[in-house]
Amino acid sequence: MSEAVSLKEVSKSYGEIQAVKDLNLNIPTGIVYGLLGPNGSGKSTTMKMMLSLVKPDSGSISIYGVDPQKDPLAVKRMIGYVPETLRLYEFLTSWEYLEFLCVIHGLNPSEEEPRIKEFFEAFELKGHENEMMGGYSHGMKQKIAIISALLGKPKLLILDEPLSGLDPKSAKIVKDLLTELSKEGVTTIFSTHVMEIADAICDKIGILYNGKKIVEATPAEIKKMANVPGSSLEQVFLEITGSSELKPIVDALIGKSDKH
């Protein structure tokens, strides 16, 4: 399998805060790669560097052989992106917004309409096409953000918390879609805090902690690391990110700290 994404010794800091440190990633084409880690571990910064939105301080990045800093336009043509915080044009209807994105991504005019309709039906948004998005619920907006990432037929999907706010049925659709796209050779990198989702759809998982990659393996391999039969991915995650000793913290928060 050829490499879709390659990061070599990539570092990025914001002032005194080291967001990413000497990160190496090699993501083969056509897999679903889960980027996990606690808040502030550097997942979003890593994704933004792949998109050329953030410039790394050092190291090199290659997206299908293209350096995002040298040719951001070529990289953007290959990527579909769902940001962590939704950023839609609230004053447009979803139909107008997706039509806008079709043109921006250079889709053939004849395939725009059927493609948008297909997505509207799949995500059960039919009947809402002509409503201004300002009136949408969070889940509906999230669906539109996911559609907008898929619309331009990307080779690489970068999805930052794509399933937050989605109802179970839509979440299932997205999961199935990612698996199908993977079979067609589309690479997906996505972050999530829900371990069951990562376990269910990821071919490979990388866990970041304080800007560093501490583990990279398949979900099954990661579960084996716990050395306890029947361990869940969540248990292993908490163990390796040093968050397993939560009871004293919880107790302290509810005022039982003096008992410890």
Partner 1 sequence: MNLVTSLKIADILILASARVKSTGMKVKSKTSIWEYTNFTMAAFFAILSCAGVFYAVQNYGISSIMVKLIFDQIAFFIPVGVTFSCIIFAVFYEFNQSTFNISLDAINWLPISASDYVLGSSICTLYFSLPILGLAYGASLILALMTNSLMVWGLSLFLGIVGGLIGGFATEILRALTNKASTTLFKKGGRASIIGRFILYMVFLSAFMIIFNSVVILQIAEWFNIVAGGAWFFPLFWPSLAVLSLQTNDLLMSLVYSSLSLLLAGIFFVTGSKIRERNWVPEPVSSVISSAETLKPLATSKGFLGFGRVEAKIIEKDFRGLIRRRELMVYLAVPFIMIIISIVSEGLGVLFDPAAHPTEKVGLFGNFGLGVIYLVYFLSIISIGQEGGAAINLLTAPIKPSNIARAKLISALILPLIIFALMILSIIIIVKPDTSLLMLSIVFGLSCITETSEVGLILGSRFVDYNEVPRARFVRPEGIIAGIIVVGMILLSNFATLWFAEDLELGVVTVPAQALMIAFLGLILNIAFLKILPSNIKHGLEKAPI
| Interface positions with partner 1 (CB under 8 A) | 14-17, 48, 51, 53-54, 73-74, 76-77, 79, 81, 83, 85, 87-93, 95-96, 99-106, 109-110, 112-113, 116, 126-132, 134-135, 152
Q: Which is nearer to partner 1, 4 or 19 (CB)?
A: 19
Burial class (CB in 10 A: 0-12, 13-18, 19+), 65: exposed
Give min distance, CB of 227 to partner 1, in A. Answer: 38
For the residues of 187-242, what is the DSSP string, one character each?
EEEEE-S-HHHHHHH-SEEEEEETTEEEEEE-HHHHHHHT-STT--HHHHHHHHTT
Query: Is the CB of residue 201 less than 8 Å from the CB of residue 170?
Result: no
Q: Which is nearer to partner 1, 104 or 228 (CB)?
A: 104
Give min distance, CB of 164 to partner 1, in A. Answer: 17
Give min distance, CB of 100 to partner 1, in A. Answer: 5
Q: Which is nearer to partner 1, 89 or 175 (CB)?
A: 89
Q: Which is nearer to partner 1, 64 or 89 (CB)?
A: 89
User: Residue 16: which residues within 8 A CB-CB, separation 6 or more?
Assistant: none
Q: Which is nearer to partner 1, 39 or 110 (CB)?
A: 110
Query: Is the CB of residue 2 less than 8 Å from the CB of residue 63?
Result: no
Q: Which is nearer to partner 1, 39 or 85 (CB)?
A: 85
Give min distance, CB of 175 to partner 1, in A. Answer: 23
Give min distance, CB of 133 to partner 1, in A. Answer: 9
Residue from 34, 32, 29, 8 nearest 208 by CA: 34
**H or E element, residue 14:** strand 3-14
Give min distance, CB of 32 to partner 1, in A. Answer: 21
CB count, 10 Å around CB of 218?
13
